[in-house]
Structure 1
Amino acid sequence: MEGPELLRLWVLAALALAVSPVTVPEHHVLPDLRLSAETGAIFVHELEREPFLEAFSGSEDDDAPVTFRAHLWQRPDLPRWLRLAQRGPGQPGFLYGCPLPPELGTHRLQVLAYNRRTFATASQRLDIGVTPAPGGEAPFQAEFLVGNRDVEELLPEAAREMFLEASAGLWERGDLHVINVTSALDRGGRVPLPIEGRKEGVYVQVGSHSPFSPCLLAAVSPQSRARCHRGQRPLASCYDTFAPHFSIRWCNLSLLQVVPSPRTPGPEWGPGVLEGGGDFEPPGDVAPRELLSPFLVTLLVPLAVAALLCLLLGHLMCCRREGVGPRGGPGSMARCPRSLQLFHHGSILGDTRELRLMAGRRDVPRPLSTLPMFNVRTGQRTDPMASARHGARAPLLPP
């Protein structure tokens, strides 16, 4: 009985699947968003979950897991200066990075949000306009390694303001700003053990137009480095300005003085093209250009040069033959008439025949090479002057 009942259950399941309508996940598009960023300063945009959850149809669950993905418009990757960080589906995401002068312009991105429960998706287009910083790049920069924080914990504006306040007590200056925030994992750091209180670590780069304070210079001195590697406190007297919120790894502190490069004159960056809206008006009709003269120059000049070269080559080959006199002149057999050439050849043949006959009638012994060869056993004689074909067949020695 188990077999037929199991078969009936399979048939009922197949019918249920065939009758039930197929639900396709819906896709929603959020309004476009325009953002601005400056070179030499941190750019952070928080991807909040609430607008995307409201866009999902029929999704009223605030605890729905949402995963963010971002890429350039019609391209697979993000710009090289921008990163996306999201700790988990239940937390917001962050787009952050520090644009450089080569990144000036408008960067169009597309953000995709996935609802892991309903498989619904929502997208939003971001236009990030990168403009040069009004005061230029900060010439004095310091990079701190915060060991008790993750990168998502320092990206919110409140955490960055708290870090700047602690840095102001160390730098003794008020014109500080965060240049960049980088996770220690992106710099070759190790993934921490899954133990409570263990953090990845964050590199925070701070810049200012004022020189470094004596405390910072003392913290990077060789004596302070030696004490740091031994596990002792640095020689700087202001090392505790970050406590108790931030734990600074003083062995990784680095100071950098940037020399501003001379700026070449170029177009000044404005608010952008059609930033305030409006229609694009193309330029009017352009006057037609006269292209006949350039065409003739391009075509006729190479032809004229080729013709001159052909004439020069023909003159050298036909009209400049050295040592060639008029036809029929003395000194060359090629210049003699044909009858005279035939007579010359005939006289040579006749003289050759006469010399051979005179050599045969001489009263001198014949050379051994012309005497017949004699076989002592058979008495056979072989003429050595016979042709090579007959001589090769006549045996000289008996077999």
Structure 2
Amino acid sequence: VHGLVRSAQPCARGRHGEGGAGIAGAGRLLPVQVLASNRLTYETVAQRLIVTVVPAPGGEPQYQGEFLVGNRNVEELLPAAARELFGQAVAGIWEQDDVSIINITSALDRGGRVPLPIEGHKEGVYVKVGSHAAFSPCLAAAASAQSRFRCRLGQQPLASCYDTFAPHFAIHWCNLTLLQVLPGPTASGPVWGPGVLEEGSDFQPPTTSPAGDLLPGFLLTLLVPLAVAALLCLLLGHLMCCRREGV
């Protein structure tokens, strides 16, 4: 596989209804533009997709972990077979069956260096997974403060699950991140101010405006600079004509 997905950005709102609320009960429609390039020919192609965003049935997983896979490129983990294989490996060390993949990001988007064009050199992929169950003792030990200290010394962290992903995935355990997402308060709807038009109404601009007296402002703007200029001229003339000393 020589392709590389460069970016995926939300598109601007197009035809009426796109990017809106979507179909009731089915999710929200999100137009996305995917930009990909060929590693060998440097050809670039863009494709516009309409993605239906459906909330997870059980909500966002409370426990989330992010792994850095060092021996894969991002396009190698996008196929369903590769994601399923990675999910099974994570479920084995998490000791849970409800582990799901949340996000897959190239290490190049996190400041990683472009790998050399040598066989076996990969860019690396960050894979975020989540579960509603707590972390296993192995994961907790790998992300503990003592393990972080060993990583700063150039040693492997304290964990007994290094070989769970082998030989398919090479995990950089010092880059393991564990996060517990606490449920936040439900966001209330927007509060409209007094200047918002009612639904179905049109804006009616004012046709007439009350006449104002602009003469005082005009005279003030014109006469004050003229008076200052006249005083300066008189002062300069007095200094040049009346204050000169003869030879």
Once the two structures are TM-superposed, the CA of residue 239 in structure 1 deviates from its matched residue by 2.1
CA distance in 2, matches of 1:142, 1:148: 19
The one-letter code matched in structure 2 to 1:196 is E
Selected match of 2:9 from 78, 81, 90: 78
Residue of structure 1 equivalent to 2:236? none
Selected match of 2:59 from 127, 130, 136: 136
The Cα offsets for residues 293-326 of structure 1, whole Å up to 9 and x where unpaired, read as xx9xx99xx99xx9xxxxxxxxxxxxxxxxxxxx
Residue 218 in structure 1 maps to residue 149 in structure 2:
no
Residue 242 in structure 1 maps to residue 165 in structure 2:
yes
Which consecutive aligned stretches of 4+ in structure 1 deviate over 6 angstroms post-superposition? 67-71, 110-114
Query: Which runs of structure 2 are paired with 1:1-399 in the superposition (5 Å)?
Result: 78-79=9-10, 105-109=28-32, 126-264=49-187
CA separation of 1:248/1:132 partners in 2, compared to 1, >3 Å: closer, same or farther?
Answer: same
CA distance in 1, matches of 2:57, 2:83: 21
The one-letter code matched in structure 1 to 2:148 is R
CA separation of 1:199/1:110 partners in 2, compared to 1, >3 Å: closer, same or farther?
Answer: closer
CA separation of 1:204/1:123 partners in 2, compared to 1, >3 Å: closer, same or farther?
Answer: closer
Q: Is the 8 A contact 1:191 1:200 kept in 2?
A: yes
Q: TM-score, normalised by structure 1?
A: 0.38
The one-letter code matched in structure 2 to 1:151 is V
CA distance in 1, matches of 2:116, 2:83: 26
Secondary structure, aligned partner of 1:163:
helix
The one-letter code matched in structure 2 to 1:213 is S
Structure ranking higher in helix proportion: 1
CA distance in 2, matches of 1:123, 1:220: 39
Q: TM-score, normalised by structure 2?
A: 0.60
Once the two structures are TM-superposed, the CA of residue 233 in structure 1 deviates from its matched residue by 3.1
Q: Is the 8 A contact 1:149 1:201 kept in 2?
A: yes
CA distance in 1, matches of 2:46, 2:140: 48
The one-letter code matched in structure 2 to 1:128 is V
The one-letter code matched in structure 1 to 2:78 is L
Q: Is the 8 A contact 1:70 1:78 kept in 2?
A: no
Identity rate of aligned residues, in percent? 64
Q: Is the 8 A contact 1:112 1:123 kept in 2?
A: yes
Aligned residues: 176
Once the two structures are TM-superposed, the CA of residue 242 in structure 1 deviates from its matched residue by 0.9
Once the two structures are TM-superposed, the CA of residue 160 in structure 1 deviates from its matched residue by 0.7
Once the two structures are TM-superposed, the CA of residue 243 in structure 1 deviates from its matched residue by 1.1
CA distance in 2, matches of 1:247, 1:70: 23
Gaps of at least 5 residues in structure 1 are: 1-64, 72-76, 81-103, 115-121, 267-285, 287-294, 307-399
Q: Is the 8 A contact 1:182 1:204 kept in 2?
A: yes
CA distance in 2, matches of 1:113, 1:150: 14
Once the two structures are TM-superposed, the CA of residue 107 in structure 1 deviates from its matched residue by 2.3
Secondary structure, aligned partner of 2:85:
helix
Of structures 1 and 2, the one scoring higher in RCO (CA 8 A, sep 6+) is 2
Once the two structures are TM-superposed, the CA of residue 194 in structure 1 deviates from its matched residue by 1.8
CA separation of 1:110/1:215 partners in 2, compared to 1, >3 Å: closer, same or farther?
Answer: closer
CA distance in 2, matches of 1:246, 1:112: 27
Secondary structure, aligned partner of 2:10:
coil
The one-letter code matched in structure 2 to 1:170 is I
CA separation of 1:196/1:262 partners in 2, compared to 1, >3 Å: closer, same or farther?
Answer: same
- RMSD across aligned positions (CA): 3.7
Q: Is the 8 A contact 2:10 2:32 kept in 1?
A: no
The one-letter code matched in structure 2 to 1:79 is P
CA distance in 2, matches of 1:249, 1:113: 27
Residue of structure 2 equivalent to 1:9? none
Once the two structures are TM-superposed, the CA of residue 110 in structure 1 deviates from its matched residue by 6.3
CA separation of 1:181/1:265 partners in 2, compared to 1, >3 Å: closer, same or farther?
Answer: same
